Amino acid sequence: MKVLITGAAGFIGSALSLKLLARGDTVIGVDNLNDYYDVELKKARLARTQDHPNFVDLRLDLADREGMERAFAEHKPNRVVNLAAQAGVRYSLINPHAYVESNLMGFMNILEGCRHNDVEHLVYASSSSVYGANTTMPFSVHDNVDHPLSMYAATKKSNELMAHTYSHLYRLPTTGLRFFTVYGPWGRPDMALFLFTKNILAGKPIDVFNYGKHRRDFTYVDDIVDGVIKVLDNPSAPNPEWSGAKPDSATSNAPFQIYNIGNNEPVELMRYIEVLQDCLGKKAELNLLPLQPGDVPDTYADVTDLVKNLDYKPNTRVEDGIANFVAWYKEYHGL
């Protein structure tokens, strides 16, 4: 299979690229290596795949319409996984334009590339943030979600709507995956686990928002990657009951699907920090702060559809996942 992966130097994209290469697929890896966070970390992730004979390394911005058209036409991928995005809820309050450029203009170019090059399946990253704050627990893909709390969440929800249109109009098979707080080795420096680890090791206080009362459905990166592959391989998973898009008879048969990928076991933030302290053998100094604008207090994934349609459910315990992260962090930083 020839798979175009965007965000190939990213946390999830690099792990996915490695796994697809290992099973014999060709990977066309697109990334603009932007400086939202440490570019050296992105280069180090990319270095794990760059020399593989079946890896094509493209330095390209999703929003570059002609560049993306060329990439699709030249490499003719069978399937596409769109992971490149401007990520981060809090940064979307500071630089909203970056979200429109990468997540909307960029996604438009992905949809067009798929449409004009007979791509068999587009899998794209959505996010648990689309659920907003006032949703019943656990979050179900059959709930109507139309109250995003940040531009990040709004662009992710927009991706789902745009994908629905392309599935409906052009019969493009699309699957949106609502990831729930992904963590693990090679993780992002702007996310809690990385920031906490860095500060605890340096003897600095850690910022704990919502006074530590958050619950998050932390999901281990390998579970996410396995789920993406399972979904990627099954473009025609049935979708007779989709209700989130209010289907009429014309849309209900569109090859369109949305799944939650989450651990289905929310963990309190203070518990997450305790496990990290145990793994590091060091106590954290807590700087307790209120809930931040744009943040949601709790996340909890209902994964019934993923289990039912694809017999798949993430299952790594946070104790194991955090231990793996700490081992990687120390090795990467030569500690």
Cβ-based nearer residue to ligand NAD, 131 or 247? 131
Structure tokens at 81: 């996984």
Separation of alpha carbons 156 and 154, rounded Å: 5
Q: Is 228 in the site for ligand NAD (CB under 6 A)?
A: no
Separation of alpha carbons 88 and 202, rounded Å: 24
Which of 102, 135, 260, 316 touches ligand NAD (CB under 6 A)?
Answer: 102
Nearest to 232 by CA among 15, 108, 81, 88: 81
**Closest CB 127 distance from ligand NAD, rounded Å:** 4
Q: CB neighbours (10 Å) of residue 85?
A: 25
Stretch 116-135 residues interacting with ligand NAD (CB under 6 A): 125, 127
Q: Which residue(s) pair with 221 in the sheet? A: none
Cβ-based nearer residue to ligand NAD, 60 or 326? 60
**Closest CB 39 distance from ligand NAD, rounded Å:** 8
Nearest to 132 by CA among 117, 148, 119, 121: 148
Cβ-based nearer residue to ligand NAD, 33 or 291? 33
Which residues contact residue 129 at a Cβ distance below 8 angstroms, ignoring those fewer than 6 apart? 89, 148, 149, 150, 152, 153, 156, 296
Which of 5, 81, 163, 182 touches ligand NAD (CB under 6 A)?
Answer: 182
Separation of alpha carbons 72 and 74, rounded Å: 6
The CA-atom distances, in angstroms, between 206 and each of 71, 185, 199 are 43, 20, 6
Q: Is 176 in the site for ligand NAD (CB under 6 A)?
A: no
Active site residue 131: no
Separation of alpha carbons 205 and 200, rounded Å: 7
Residue 80 near residue 110, CB atoms below 8 Å:
yes
Cβ-based nearer residue to ligand NAD, 247 or 305? 305
Which of 3, 4, 5, 10 touches ligand NAD (CB under 6 A)?
Answer: 10
Contact pattern for ligand NAD over residues 30 through 69, marking x by CB under 6 A: xxxxx-------x------------------xxx------
> How many residues at the interface with ligand NAD, by CB under 6 A?
28
Catalytic residue among 152, 166, 259, 272: 152
Q: Is 109 in the site for ligand NAD (CB under 6 A)?
A: no
Q: What residue number has its CB nearest to ligand NAD?
A: 10
What are the catalytic residues? 152
Name the site residues for ligand NAD (rule: CB under 6 A): 7, 9-13, 30-34, 42, 61-63, 83-87, 102, 106, 125, 127, 179, 181-182, 188
